[in-house]
Amino acid sequence: MTNHTPHAGLVGGIDSHTDTIHVALIDGLGRDVADHEFATTASGYRATVAWLAGHGPVSVVGVEGTSSYGRGVTTALAGAGIQVVEVNRTRPAERRRAGKSDRLDAYRAARSVLSGEATTPPKDGSVEPLRALMVARRSALKAQQAAWRQIGALLINAPARIRDAHRDLPPARLLATLIHCRPAQVADADHADILYSLRTLARRHRDLTTEIAELTERIGSRAAAANPALLAIKGVGPVIGAQLLLTAGDNPERLRSAPSFAALCGTAPVPVSSGRTDRHRLSRGGDRAANSALHLIVNNRMSNDARTRTYRDTHLAQNWTKKDVYRSLKRAVAREIYQALVGRCTVPDYSDLRPARHAKNLTLAAAATDLHVWPTAISQIERGKRRDDKLAQSYREWLNAA
């Protein structure tokens, strides 16, 4: 049973929606005190705070949807010095048993706080700009993919003359050809309209490519400013780092431990033992976007990290399945990510590398040639865009010896 501190004052509960919030108050024994509905406007939030204060000291308020419909009232309550706790939505079984209404849900939210079932503080609102950038990038990416599929579909149904002219072109060349085609110079009106449509889609694809790059740059800047240690982890880029920051929130102290963060990301091992079988499987719960981010980190390390490949080969030789290997690796990555989120991860300092190279008038090409890597890899390390401690150490030794 979870231990919790009894609440000295009144306990509030809020059921949030698009246009309204329903607020309820109970006393320390769980008895109904009062409830009221307010609008989701600035004046409505002020009225909510005043209404709560008018009934006496309120020790804590449980809010449903603190990162969505309840974001505004959560900010107003925190600004007034009232403690806020995040409350999960009502479970279907409870709704079937006791009914469903805004008033009932508000009282349930208050009682879940009083009972100690709800204890998690809400996410800090400072991650919302990062969430907005991620939403815009995801939308642009989907639109770009849709444009590319539509180009392919139009070419399949296009007249043979148009289809044959573009049949064997690689993607980049195909887009460039369509972008610069001139439908107005085509005599056949039907062919001209098809080419015009293809050119429109190709230009849309190009514009979305630029838009995605700009959004990714802004996401990277904000994520690096929020937690540079997170982006210093091998395999964590701007988008993956931003997703993990959104999952954890900008106040990671709300995460109790590394196992709780693993469970949040759906990477906590789930036992499925029976009889002579003793094993675990991947969790199918948690934040699936965060789970996907961890999966991409493991995929990246499979390609670029010798230690990860050695781990995989060793355990596959011990009759582990590939799913078992991924489950274990994702759990280890989640532990590493948690350490970075709570500030227990050191950030390697590569800031001395570029000045040292400039002082000796050395080029990136010369360093890359001697170290057998691409110049881009050296440049990314110098600018802090990539973490590779082994390469950074070799590069530093090369600079000292030059």
Distance, C-alpha 164 to centroid of its chain: 42
Residue-wise pLDDT for 82-92, tens only, equals 999 888 876 66
Cα separation, 329 vs 65, whole angstroms: 32
User: For the chain, how long is the longest CA-to-CA vector?
Assistant: 84
Environment class of residue 190 by beta-carbon count within 10 Å: exposed (0-12), middle (13-18) or buried (19+)?
Answer: exposed
Helix axes 42-54, 71-79, angle to 10 degrees: 50
Cα separation, 45 vs 156, whole angstroms: 56
Higher-pLDDT residue of 92, 42:
42
Query: Which of the four pLDDT bands, split at 50, 70 and 90, describes residue 2?
Result: very low
- The edge-to-edge listing of strands for the beta sheet with 32-39 is 32-39, 20-26, 10-16, 58-64, 83-87
pLDDT at 90: 64
Helix (H, G, I), strand (E, B), or coil: what is residue 195?
helix
Give percent of the chain above pLDDT 70.
Answer: 92
53-74 average pLDDT score: 89
Nearest alpha carbon to residue 352 among 307, 304, 393: 393
Is the model's pLDDT at 247 over the cut of 50?
yes
Helix axes 238-248, 322-341, angle to 10 degrees: 70
Q: Which two tokens stand for residue 83?
A: 């403690």
pLDDT at 211: 97
Is the model's pLDDT at 153 over the cut of 90?
yes
Cα separation, 306 vs 365, whole angstroms: 25
Is the model's pLDDT at 399 over the cut of 80?
yes
pLDDT at 136: 97
Q: Torsion over CA of 295, 299, 305 and 311, rounded to 10 degrees? A: 70
Nearest alpha carbon to residue 172 among 197, 147, 202, 196: 202
In this structure, what DSSP letter does residue 254 have? G
Environment class of residue 131 by beta-carbon count within 10 Å: exposed (0-12), middle (13-18) or buried (19+)?
Answer: middle
In this structure, what DSSP letter does residue 125 have? G
Q: What per-residue string of b and e applies to 363-402 under the rule 16 or more CB within 10 Å gives b? A: ebeebbeebebeeebbebbbebbbbbeebbebbeebbeee
Higher-pLDDT residue of 322, 95:
322
Nearest alpha carbon to residue 148 among 211, 198, 212: 198
Q: How far is CA 49 from CA 44, 69, 76, 169, in A?
A: 9, 17, 7, 63
Cα separation, 7 vs 25, whole angstroms: 13
Is the model's pLDDT at 257 over the cut of 60?
yes
Q: Which residues on adjacent β-strands are paired with residue 35?
A: 24
- Average predicted confidence (pLDDT) for the chain: 87
Cα separation, 78 vs 65, whole angstroms: 15
Q: Which two tokens stand for residue 230?
A: 């997170």
pLDDT at 199: 96
pLDDT at 345: 65
Residue at 392: amino acid letter = A
Is the model's pLDDT at 3 over the cut of 60?
no
Helix (H, G, I), strand (E, B), or coil: what is residue 402?
coil
Most confident listed range (91-95, 169-173, 234-238, 348-352) = 169-173
pLDDT at 253: 64
Total-model pTM = 0.74
pLDDT at 4: 53
Q: Which residues on adjacent β-strands are paired with residue 39?
A: 20
pLDDT at 1: 38
214-234 average pLDDT score: 88
